[in-house]
Amino acid sequence: MAWRSVGADNADLIRKMRDYGIIASDSVAQAMTKTDRRHYSPRNPYMDAPQTIGYGVTISAPHMHAFALEYLRDQLRPGAHVLDVGSGSGYLTACFLRYIEEKGDDVNTRVIGIEHQPELVAQSFQNLNADDPKMLDSGKLIIVEGDGRKGVPEHAPYDAIHVGAAAAITPKALLEQLANGGRLIVPVGPEGGEQYMTQYDKDSEGKVKETRLMGVMYVPLTDLHRS
Ligand SMILES: C[S@@+](CC[C@H](N)C(=O)[O-])C[C@H]1O[C@@H](n2cnc3c(N)ncnc32)[C@H](O)[C@@H]1O
């Protein structure tokens, strides 16, 4: 039976996803329970489906956010540097910080979201502040406006990188900004074609291993000035 769910509220949605095994760990469930989707998705926040958030963009479905957190959770440690490319609503960026903070407080923790649509950057500031202004005020969560395909070198290297839109080929700039021991997950493949959520693990000597996780369907990373 296909997974389809809607919760009465945020806690109910996350509980159902945990019961169904979509969320595999209590720590991911806790971070997602604390991050109420109503601050980020004005439409149907508790439905497990992508929702439009304006400017031709969707917030990804809760199960995709859960998978991203599960796949990256070993890298989400106090003091880690994390990059969320195509941060859109800011929801997953907030979840990354919440996940890390549950594990411990560290002044060096940095979770960087990068989004190229200025209106969405402004929207994500509003969303994050409506959720909890301490996230931005602490300086641990930073939203940058720019082309995420180039990464954010100022805060590199990153222990974890998530990309919320598809790259046509392996994104080299992001791999370069991945720390030894770090993990990048990114949908790779052509627009409307065969795409795979792909995991890149960099070992302690900088050698990269590529693993295809699952077939997916994502909008592409684009060039704002050409589209
Ligand atoms: C499917 S949405 C996901 C948004 C976010 N992860 C969420 O769930 O709210 C993909 C996002 O990638 C952004 N995006 C696309 N190309 C980009 C680029 N080159 N640089 C930065 N952001 C980009 C889009 O504007 C959009 O916000």
**Closest C-alpha to 143, from 190, 104, 111, 176:** 111
Report if residue 4 sits inside a domain.
Answer: no
Report if residue 158 sits inside a domain.
Answer: yes
Report if residue 48 sits inside a domain.
Answer: no
SS3 9: coil
∠ CA 27-22-143, nearest 5°, is 60
The domain total for the chain is 1
What is the 90 CA–ligand 1 centroid distance (Å)? 10
Report the predicted TM-score, pTM, of the whole model to 2 decimal places: 0.97
pLDDT digits (tens, 9 = 90+) for 7-61: 999 999 999 999 999 999 999 999 999 999 999 999 999 999 999 999 999 999 9
pLDDT digits (tens, 9 = 90+) for 150-192: 999 999 999 999 999 999 999 999 999 999 999 999 999 999 8
Which ligand 1 atom is the nearest neighbour of the CA of 88? 27
Report if residue 55 sits inside a domain.
Answer: no
What is the number of residues in the chain?
227
Ligand 1 contact via 112 beta carbon (within 6 Å) = no
- The secondary structure of 130-180 as a DSSP string is HH-THHHHTSSEEEEES-GGG--GGG-SEEEEEESSBBSS--HHHHHTEEE
The percent of the chain in helix, strand and coil, each rounded to the nearest 5, is 35, 25, 40
Report if residue 190 sits inside a domain.
Answer: yes
Report if residue 185 sits inside a domain.
Answer: yes
CATH number assigned to the domain comprising residue 107: 3.40.50.150
Residue nearest to atom 27 of ligand 1 (CA): 88
Q: Specify the residue for token string 């060039």.
A: 223
Q: Name the residue of 53, 85, 227 to mutate for ligand 1: max ligand atoms within 8 A of Cβ.
A: 85
Ligand 1 contact via 202 beta carbon (within 6 Å) = no
Q: Residue 136's pLDDT band (boundaries 50, 70, 90)?
A: very high
Question: Domain limits at 205?
Answer: 60-216
Across the strands, what pairs with 144? 114
Report if residue 20 sits inside a domain.
Answer: no
Ligand 1 contact via 171 beta carbon (within 6 Å) = no
b vs e for 111-150, b when ≥16 Cβ sit within 10 Å of the residue's Cβ?
A: bbbbbbbeebbebbeebbeebbeebbeeebbbbbeebbbe
Report if residue 29 sits inside a domain.
Answer: no
Q: What CA–CA distance (Å, rounded) separates 83 from 15?
A: 27
What is the 125 CA–ligand 1 centroid distance (Å)? 15
